[in-house]
Amino acid sequence: MNPRKLLVVDDIPEVREFLFDALKPRYEVTCIGTHKEALRTLDETSFDVLMVDVANDPTNIELLESVGGRKDAPITIAVTGERAAGTAVRMMKIGVYDYIEKPFTVERILYTVEKAFEYGALQRQNRTLEEQMGQFDAAQSIVGISQAIHALRERVRVVAASSADVLITGEGGTGKEVVAREIHRTSGRARQPFVKVVCSAIPELLLEAELFGSERGFYGGERGPMLGKFEKASGGTLLLEDVGEMTPSTQVNVLRAIRDGLISREEGTESVHVDVRVIATTKRDLKKDVQRGVFREDLYCRLNVAEIGLVPLRERREDIPLLVRHFIRNHTDGTTIRVTEAAMKKLCSGQWRGNIRELENAIERAVITAPGMILDEKHVEMSAEREELSRIEETFRHGSVREMEKLMILFRLVEHDQNRTRAAKSLEISVRTVRNKLREYREAKIEVRERLRAR
């Protein structure tokens, strides 16, 4: 971890010595007396935070003004005279992060300096995310820097260049439609139609008419022939979402359309030729469905010429900061909203059973509830159940056996209305052990009652 570097500018030696002693346990501190020395020092060394006394030497304001125009400028704090309101306003206008009025306390100094370091870290994080976002093609919709996403982009590039039908698998909310659209966008069919059908959302009796059309018109109306999605997508790409939900009879007709390029409208007597690339998505295990006899093996083999499996968001948490920035852009009018370290930590540790879709919903809610330019931890809403699961998973992944034992005991007590006898029985340990463990947690100042109320 890089040291946090602070430059203090004050013309009084005793004050410099006082500040150095107060700040050195936490930071790497350099103290100097004049703004000329400060400029020379800043030319030679980079600092995270610059604290300047402008009360005794008003010319130091020039130092603050000149520092603001530097690349990677430090976060600035001004020390002002008592009730120097006019000076404070001027400093805010030139970009000073905060000011401290004399006389000050050590607590006030430590608090303000620490907040300045946190703000600087937040700025650097946001700058890094902006740079990473800038590396993506403006039309690129697959966002992330993880190894899984790099592999996915390469797989999409290879598949898009072919004419093969595609099967995209993954949990709900992992971005299967996004990947399908990216394949279409970068394929030779990009200028042709992209048509989507959600198989699970259409009643069984109507799905075939939706896919293949009807000579009787709109589901038996009198408007003349109705084109199905296969015909509407001819020349382009047809996305079959939730393909595993189709009935066996519909599967037969889809297989014919893919294999022979022929469809028959309902009530029709002639076959219609179609030229369609099919991309199918599913969150089901189609291999198991084939073994159970609920999904045709020949259709599975046709669709599975090129398979793309999507990784759950919880297995590529390093992509969450970029996704957060991406969704903030999508759900604001261009306003720059900064995400605090605490908020980002909470987002990155989330369980996200609903994957990217759930994360986007959380960001949309947070953007609405955040009153200003800062999105803090309190604006990130996660259900109590999800927060609990996230805490358990985090402990399981990174905690000790002792921490897991503590979680198990506390949660079993909640499940059994704090009845120690029933909780002990469910854990297959003695009541005495539960009692001793609770005493141990209290002696360690663990908030047992608060934790028990967490649910």
CATH number at residue 280: 3.40.50.300
Same domain, 243 and 290: yes
Q: How confident is the model at residue 127 (pLDDT cuts 50, 70, 90)?
A: low
- The one-character DSSP state at 189 is T
Task: Give the pLDDT of residue 45.
Answer: 87
Same domain, 208 and 240: yes
User: Final residue of a domain: which of 309, 341, 375?
Assistant: 309
CATH number at residue 443: 1.10.10
Same domain, 333 and 423: no
- 129 or 273, greater pLDDT: 273
Q: Does residue 332 have a pLDDT over 90?
A: no
CATH number at residue 29: 3.40.50.2300
Task: Give the pLDDT of residue 137.
Answer: 46
- For strands 194-198 and 237-241, give the pairing: parallel
Is residue 391 assigned to a domain? no
Q: How confident is the model at residue 454 (pLDDT cuts 50, 70, 90)?
A: very low
Distance CA 209, CA 229 (A): 9
Looking only at Cα atoms, what is the longest distance across the chain? 99
Q: Which helix (H) or strand (E) holds 62?
A: helix 60-67
Q: Which of helix, strand or coil describes residue 148?
A: helix
pTM: 0.61
Is residue 199 assigned to a domain? yes
Distance CA 373, CA 370 (A): 8
Same domain, 227 and 118: no
Q: Do 265 and 228 form a contact (C-beta atoms < 8 A)?
A: yes
E strands present in 283-414: 306-309, 338-339, 374-375
Q: Do 361 and 353 form a contact (C-beta atoms < 8 A)?
A: no
Q: Does residue 109 have a pLDDT over 50?
A: yes
Joined tokens for residue 268: 């029709």
pLDDT exceeding 70 applies to what percent of the chain? Answer: 84
Q: Whose CA is closest to 231, among 269, 272, 200, 270?
A: 272
Is residue 28 assigned to a domain? yes
CA 453 to chain centre: 28
State phi, psi for 81 to the nearest 5 degrees. Answer: -75, 165
Same domain, 96 and 184: no
Q: Do 2 and 46 form a contact (C-beta atoms < 8 A)?
A: no
Domain that holds residue 282: 147-309
Mean pLDDT of 352-367: 88
Is residue 393 assigned to a domain? no
Is residue 390 assigned to a domain? no
Task: Give the pLDDT of residue 88.
Answer: 59
Is residue 196 assigned to a domain? yes
Q: How confident is the model at residue 241 (pLDDT cuts 50, 70, 90)?
A: very high
- The one-character DSSP state at 58 is T
User: Which residues are bridge partners to 339 per DSSP?
Assistant: 375
Same domain, 380 and 236: no
Task: Give the pLDDT of residue 265.
Answer: 85
CATH number at residue 364: 1.10.8.60
Is residue 354 assigned to a domain? yes
Same domain, 26 and 73: yes
User: Final residue of a domain: which of 110, 133, 156?
Assistant: 133
Distance CA 152, CA 144 (A): 10
Mean pLDDT of 406-410: 83
Q: Does residue 164 have a pLDDT over 90?
A: yes
Q: Does residue 432 have a pLDDT over 80?
A: yes
Same domain, 284 and 364: no
Same domain, 292 and 328: no
Mean pLDDT of 57-77: 79
Is residue 142 assigned to a domain? no
Total number of domains constituting the chain: 4
Same domain, 176 and 221: yes
Mean of the per-residue pLDDT values of the chain: 83
User: Final residue of a domain: which of 246, 275, 309?
Assistant: 309
Amino acid code (one letter) for 139? A
Task: Give the pLDDT of residue 455.
Answer: 37
Between 259-263, 384-388, 423-427, the lowest mean confidence (pLDDT) is in 384-388
Q: Does residue 337 have a pLDDT over 90?
A: no
The CA-CA-CA angle for residues 303, 305, 311, to 5°, reads 85
Between 96-105, 287-296, 315-324, the lowest mean confidence (pLDDT) is in 96-105
Q: How confident is the model at residue 444 (pLDDT cuts 50, 70, 90)?
A: low
Same domain, 120 and 65: yes
Same domain, 302 and 155: yes
Distance CA 73, CA 66 (A): 10
